Amino acid sequence: MRCIPVFLDEEIVNQYYNGYCNNILWPLFHYLGLPQEDRLATTRTFQSQFDAYKKANQMFADVVNKHYEEGDVVWCHDYHLMFLPKCLKQYNDKMKVGWFLHTPFPSSEIHRTLPSRSELLRSVLAADLVGFHTYDYARHFVSACTRILGLEGTPEGVEDHGKLTRVAAFPIGIDSDRFTQALELPEVQEHMKELKERFAGRKVMLGVDRLDMIKGIPQKILAFEKFLEENSHWRDKVVLLQIAVPTRKDVPEYQKLTSQVHEIVGRINGRFGTLTAVPIHHLDRSLDFHELCALYAVTDVALVTSLRDGMNLVSYEFVACQASKKGVLILSEFAGAAQSLGAGAILVNPWNITEIAASIGYALEMSADEREKRHQFNFKHVKTHTSQEWAATFVSELNDTIVEAQLRTRQVPPLLPNKVAVDCYSKSNNRLIILGFNATLNEPVDALGRAGQIRELEHKLHSNTKEPLKKLSDDPKTTIVVLSGSGRAVLDKNFSEFNMWLAAENGIFLRHTSSEWMTTMPENLNMDWVDSVKHVFEYFTERTPRSHFELREMSIVWNYKYADVEFGRIQARDLLQHLWAGPISNASLDVVQGGRSVEVRTIGVSKGAAIDRILGEIVHKKGMKTPIDYVLCVGHFLAKVTFHLRLCYCYRKIMIGLADPKLWNLMKMCINFLSQSYHLNHLQYQELCYPNPILTGHHLCQNYQPPPKPVRRQLNTRNNVRCQT
């Protein structure tokens, strides 16, 4: 193996490794929480430690970039390098990057306490494949991305603006052959002989751990004490060998733990020991490989009582060395290995001393037949799920993920070419620009304010769009349409000052800002269903915190965007069942389930269905003689939008029908703002190429036949009604 060093200076090591990694991330990921002592000092130093963490990750990225060759696979490991995938992708977005966490990943409620929670999650999501030891850890990660970042969690991973980061479980293993072959070595056989002679006539119990807060060593020893208390006949027939490998001796917490363990061991040995034998043999040091293999081989019961553990491979090593003895494994349910070896081990809650003591008795008295069955199950798993298999599986999945991502990319329109869009705009003479409002032109809205209260829910036009929109709308060669699901009052409030067309409630209501609202819906439209649907929405709004519903003129929308994501989805399913079972069972209505909303509306109400009516009305109103030679459509449209004669096709993101344009600077300002805006980081376009050049001029003007003139009814404007909790 060729290793390339990354040199970090002493200050970076102290702030990055000892500070942020070991003092912040490691305790948090093991459910110990953020440091409690001297909180003010911790707050002051946190930012400097996080800055050092990012700097160190960038230094790793610089070394990787220096030696990277096309086709290489970059596999980042553990919480020390959570920022590395982002750094690498910024250098080369085609680089194959995987990230694997060797510790537990905490629940979203724990992770959200971390000040840098969002930055770390987004940095990890830059990787193509994210791996964890168990499904639980993977589930927690996806949940954190959903709850903290507001992203979409899928069975395959996390989706962010069309980019899917694959998230999966890859349980690590050991090189089992190394342990089984070591048992045949003369020096190991000699160690085994010495141990058997030393503990002849006594059952051997074994614990091998780092002297760490999460390993549950005090709980293990206290449980053994309780077992001796309740089973006096075992006191001179069993011995516990505890190997505690010291770590971070200079840290006060670890020094305190060491003293605590020594005190407990001394008390128990003084209580149950004799002049010739003691029940606990405790070693504050590591053993060499051959000594460890011999100790595993002569053990009758292995005791792993981790309070939290990413995997714990001691359990694997013990099983690999038990081909002859068929010893019993008592394993903490909070160790990652419990999901792999749980069927063959005795699972315990390490916090339940009584349960562990009872399990020790059960293991010592277990029949040979049961020991054989349990061992064979675990031994088969350890032999087949090796470290080599783990690595090969991860790299194979990473390569497959890249291929699948490339296939998905081919099906998605490419990014909007700003320069092409502006060039064409500057050469055109009759332009049509259709813009969405929600998630396109409005101000970014966070789900929660600082105090956990819902922020202003009403959409507001982004301040940066006002000037370019004003200049574009004042251009006589440009027609702008804002097509939105919002009600008339919302559009009036935001766009009345502009010279443009407004299409409210998905195009049901239409007006130019210089005239009154009109609708194409029949006058005798049956709206008797509204009250019954409203009652259902009110019921679920009251029972779903931070949800709200909006009563529009032709539809009702229940929105749970600001509610807890998982609870909101459960409530949405129940709401739909209530609707289908009652209010809408026999009604001619459409039920549209959005990402985090449910809308009930009259059949035929959609942006796609409205486009023909809107275009026809605009052509009729303006008396267009010049062909429309440029169409730009920007919006987060939920349904297909089809222009008459296939002029333009939009689905969800953006599509542009190319022709010719003008007003370079103004259009450039608008395009650049939209493409760089928080909600349109991935603008996409599709260039329409038809056998006939319908976008080039006369063809469109000569062949276009507007739909029949719509029934125009003037409407009295009334405010939308909104209820929320």
**Ranges for all domains in the chain classified under CATH 3.40.50.1000:** 418-442+464-521+606-675
Q: Structure tokens of 724? A: 């929320």
What would the CATH number be for the domain defined by 10-169? Answer: 3.40.50.2000
CATH superfamily of 176-385: Glycogen Phosphorylase B; (3.40.50.2000)
pLDDT score recorded for residue 455? 44
In whole angstroms, what is the distance from residue 566 CA to residue 172 CA? 30
Phi-psi region of 184 (alpha: psi -120 to 50; beta: other; left: phi over 0): alpha
Task: Give CA–CA dist 723/725, Å, rounded.
Answer: 7
Cα–Cα distance for residue pair 516/47, rounded to 1 Å: 55
The DSSP code for 17 is I
Q: Output the pLDDT for position 707.
A: 39
Identify any residues that bridge with 281 across adjacent strands, giving them in sequence order.
Answer: 241
* Strand-pair category, 431-435 with 478-483: parallel
- Beta-bridge mates of residue 382: none
How crowded is residue 523: how many other Cβ atoms within 10 Å of its Cβ? 7
Contact criterion met (CB below 8 Å) for 512 and 500:
yes
Quote the CA–CA distance of 423 and 403 in Å, as a whole number.
Answer: 34
| Residue 78 structure tokens | 């553990």
Give the pLDDT of residue 161: 75
Which CATH number does 418-442+464-521+606-675 carry? 3.40.50.1000
Low-confidence ranges of the chain (pLDDT < 50): 38-40, 447-456, 638-668, 671, 673-725
Helix axes 135-149, 117-125, angle to 10 degrees: 120
Q: DSSP per residue over 490-545, as a string?
A: HHHHHHTTSSSEEEEGGGTEEEETTS--EE-S-TT---TTHHHHHHHHHHHHHTST
Where do the CATH 3.90.1070.10 domains begin and end in the chain? Answer: 528-602
Secondary structure of residue 494 in the 3-state scheme = helix
pLDDT tens for 90-101 read: 999 999 999 999
Across the strands, what pairs with 549? 558, 723
Given a contact cutoff of 8 angstroms between Cβ atoms, the answer to whether 539 and 579 are in contact is no
Please give the radius of gyration of the chain, using alpha carbons only, rounded to the nearest integer. 33
CA-to-CA distance for 385 and 600, rounded, in angstroms?
51
SS (H, E, C) 230-244: HCHHHCCCEEEEEEE
Strands of 457-615, DSSP E: 478-483, 501-504, 509-512, 518-519, 548-551, 555-559, 589-593, 597-602
Q: How far is CA 84 from CA 58, 64, 209, in A?
A: 7, 10, 30
Are the C-beta atoms of 338 and 397 separated by less than 8 Å?
Answer: no
Residues belonging to the chain: 725
With respect to CATH, is domain 528-602 assigned 3.90.1070.10?
A: yes
Query: Which amino acid is it at 231?
Result: N
Cβ–Cβ under 8 Å, residues 541 and 563: no
User: How far is residue 300 from each of residues 97, 172, 221, 232, 570, measured CA to CA in Å?
Assistant: 43, 25, 17, 19, 48
CA distance 453 to 76: 38
Alpha-helical segments (H) within 593-663: 607-622
For residue 633, what pLDDT is reported?
83
Domain with CATH 3.40.50.2000 in the chain: 10-169, 176-385
- What's this model's pTM, rounded to 2 decimal places? 0.74
- Give the model's pLDDT for residue 454: 46
Per-residue H/E/C for 100-151: ECCCCCCCHHHHCCCCCHHHHHHHHHCCCEEEECCHHHHHHHHHHHHHHHCC
> What span, in angstroms and rounded, lies between the C-alpha atoms of 198 and 38?
49
Cβ atoms of residues 667 and 695 within 8 Å: no
